[in-house]
């Protein structure tokens, strides 16, 4: 078997060490006599997995004690609806910053539950920048301010935590959680699908401040209710047990790498290498304003779009997969999450240089 470099935006590459450990433990986890896939989520063995999972995530992100950590299903997409159902707390408005496709989807779903105030938008720039915070219009009567910290499709990332001016700050961190250091206490709620930086699809992490939960409409099903999920340790129904286990392995791998601080330095080096290759080229171009370029998702366009098919075919022949850009924007996209080694990025850059030379 020859593994390729997988630049998929998600589900994305997992650390090889994690895959090897999962393979070794497939038939029996520790001395349990059974696979994790066979365990009762109420049993003593899975309880250990669940406790270590939350403990490791709290340690990696320095999550304060007054925050609940939930492991839910339905992806970040389900959270677009769960968030207003859970934290409006009797208010009728919520503020959203629109910086790309995932922001738009969050706005669209939230409109089913409240009046959405679009406090700022970069739509007129084709989502190639972040609106100047000085021009954001925040409604002080809103329940919260929502933003997407990294737009997977458009390749735009916030480099700093925005000022919410007293509103609880809510962030979709699906594609950059655990890739850089940040202060959890600045947020009211953070959510992230696991399938980019944390593990396989099927698990969504929600980190929410205690005072924001517990006031919901009676029509909200308990399985969607953060307070009820917290009371039941995210096990109101049978969770995706094997996926929890795999997320746990990724967290332990990250701890061994030196934690979030260490992985952030690697991510900076990888992104700098790829952007340098693009910027020094006459064939490739990244459309995003340099101040808000994503470290995780790097879109680029070929000067001659007639070369797109050849680029993708030759890339795969060189073991470089999943480089086609999202269908809504075209071009190419390299997703270089935590699990992507620097060697993979160097291999891509070498290929890009050779492709430009020969074409």
3-state helix/strand/coil string of the chain: CCCCEECCCCCCCCCHHHHHHHHHCCCCCCCCCCCHHHCCCCCHHHHHHHHHHHHHHHHHHCCCCCEEEEEECCHHHHHHHHHHHHHCCCCCEEEEEECCHHHHHHHHHHCCCCEEEEEEECHHHCCCCCCCHHHCCCCCCCCCEEEECEECCCCEECCCCCCCCCCCEEEECCCCCCCCCCCHHHCCEEEEECCCCCCCCCCEEEEEEHHHCCCCCCCCCHHHCHHHHHHCCCCCCCCCHHHHHHHHHHHHHHHHCCHHHHHHHHHHHHHHHHHHHHHCCCCEECCCCHHHECCCEEEEEECCHHHHHHHHHHHHHCCEECCECCCCCCCEEEECCCCCCHHHHHHHHHHHHHHHHHC
Last residue of a domain, one of 228, 256, 284: 256
Task: Note the pLDDT tens digit of each residue in 205-216.
Answer: 999 999 999 999
Candidates 29, 56, 68, 102; catalytic one? 102
CATH assignment at residue 116: 3.40.640.10
Same domain, 39 and 154: yes
Q: Please give the average per-residue pLDDT across 327-338, as a whole number.
A: 95
Same domain, 244 and 295: no
Known catalytic residue at 172: yes
Last residue of a domain, one of 195, 228, 256: 256
Q: Please give the average per-residue pLDDT across 39-56, as a whole number.
A: 97
Residue 110: the pLDDT is: 98
Known catalytic residue at 44: no
pLDDT at 95 over 90: yes
Last residue of a domain, one of 212, 240, 256: 256
Same domain, 299 and 344: yes
Q: Rounded to two decimals, what is the model's pTM?
A: 0.97
pLDDT at 279 over 70: yes
Task: Note the pLDDT tens digit of each residue in 162-204.
Answer: 999 999 999 999 999 999 999 999 999 999 999 999 999 999 9
Domain coverage including residue 346: 258-358
Known catalytic residue at 196: yes
Task: Indicate whether 1 belongs to any domain.
Answer: no
Same domain, 148 and 160: yes
Task: Indicate whether 25 belongs to any domain.
Answer: yes
Same domain, 146 and 222: yes
Same domain, 264 and 245: no
Same domain, 184 and 313: no
Look-up: residue for tokens 């990250």? 254
Closest to 229 (Cα-Cα) out of 91, 113, 90, 82? 82
Task: Indicate whether 332 belongs to any domain.
Answer: yes
CB 78 within 8 A of CB 105: no
pLDDT at 122 over 90: yes
Same domain, 247 and 294: no
Task: Indicate whether 220 belongs to any domain.
Answer: yes
CB 173 within 8 A of CB 192: yes
Residue 328: the pLDDT is: 86
pLDDT at 2 over 90: no
Number of domains in the chain: 2
Same domain, 326 and 238: no
Same domain, 270 and 248: no
Same domain, 134 and 205: yes
Task: Indicate whether 333 belongs to any domain.
Answer: yes
Residue 41: the pLDDT is: 97
- What token pair was written down for 95? 């503020």
Candidates 56, 172, 244, 253; catalytic one? 172
Same domain, 193 and 320: no
Percentage above 90 pLDDT, the chain: 98
Task: Indicate whether 5 belongs to any domain.
Answer: no
CATH assignment at residue 284: 3.90.1150.10
336 band by pLDDT with thresholds 50, 70 and 90:
very high
Candidates 29, 56, 109, 196; catalytic one? 196
pLDDT at 1 over 80: no
Q: Please give the average per-residue pLDDT across 55-84, as a whole number.
A: 98
Task: Indicate whether 204 belongs to any domain.
Answer: yes
Task: Indicate whether 190 belongs to any domain.
Answer: yes
């Amino acid at each position: 078997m020859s593994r390729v470099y997988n630049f998929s935006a998600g589900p994305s590459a997992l650390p090889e060490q994690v895959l090897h450990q999962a393979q070794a433990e497939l038939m029996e986890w520790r001395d349990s006599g059974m696979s994790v896939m066979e365990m009762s989520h109420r049993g003593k063995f899975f309880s250990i997995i669940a406790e270590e999972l939350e403990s490791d995530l709290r340690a990696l992100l320095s999550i304060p004690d007054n925050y609940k950590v939930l492991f839910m299903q339905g992806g970040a997409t389900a959270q677009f609806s769960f968030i207003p159902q859970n934290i409006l707390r009797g208010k009728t408005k919520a503020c959203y910053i629109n910086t790309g496709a995932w922001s738009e989807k969050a706005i669209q779903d939230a409109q089913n539950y409240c009046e959405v105030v679009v406090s700022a938008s970069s739509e007129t720039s084709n989502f190639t920048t972040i609106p100047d915070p000085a021009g954001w219009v925040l409604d002080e009567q809103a329940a919260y301010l929502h933003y997407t910290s990294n737009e997977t499709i458009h390749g735009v990332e916030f480099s700093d935590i925005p000022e919410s001016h007293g509103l609880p700050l809510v962030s979709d961190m699906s594609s950059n959680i655990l890739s850089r250091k940040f202060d959890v206490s600045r947020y009211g709620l953070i959510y992230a699908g696991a399938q980019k930086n944390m593990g396989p699809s099927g698990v969504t992490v929600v980190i929410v401040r205690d005072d924001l939960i517990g006031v919901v409409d009676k029509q909200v099903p308990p399985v969607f209710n953060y307070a009820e999920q917290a009371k039941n340790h995210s096990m109101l129904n049978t969770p995706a047990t094997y996926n929890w286990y795999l997320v746990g392995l990724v967290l332990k791998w990250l701890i061994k790498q030196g934690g979030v601080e260490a992985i952030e330095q690697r991510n900076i080096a990888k992104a700098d290498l790829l952007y340098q290759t693009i910027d020094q080229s006459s064939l490739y171009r990244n459309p995003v304003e340099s101040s808000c370029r994503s470290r995780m998702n790097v879109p680029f366009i070929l000067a001659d779009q007639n070369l797109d098919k050849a680029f993708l075919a030759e890339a795969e022949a060189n073991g470089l997969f999943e480089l086609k850009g999202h269908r809504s924007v075209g071009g190419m996209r390299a997703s270089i999450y935590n699990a992507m080694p620097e060697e993979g990025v160097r291999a891509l850059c070498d290929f890009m240089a050779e492709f430009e030379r020969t074409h």
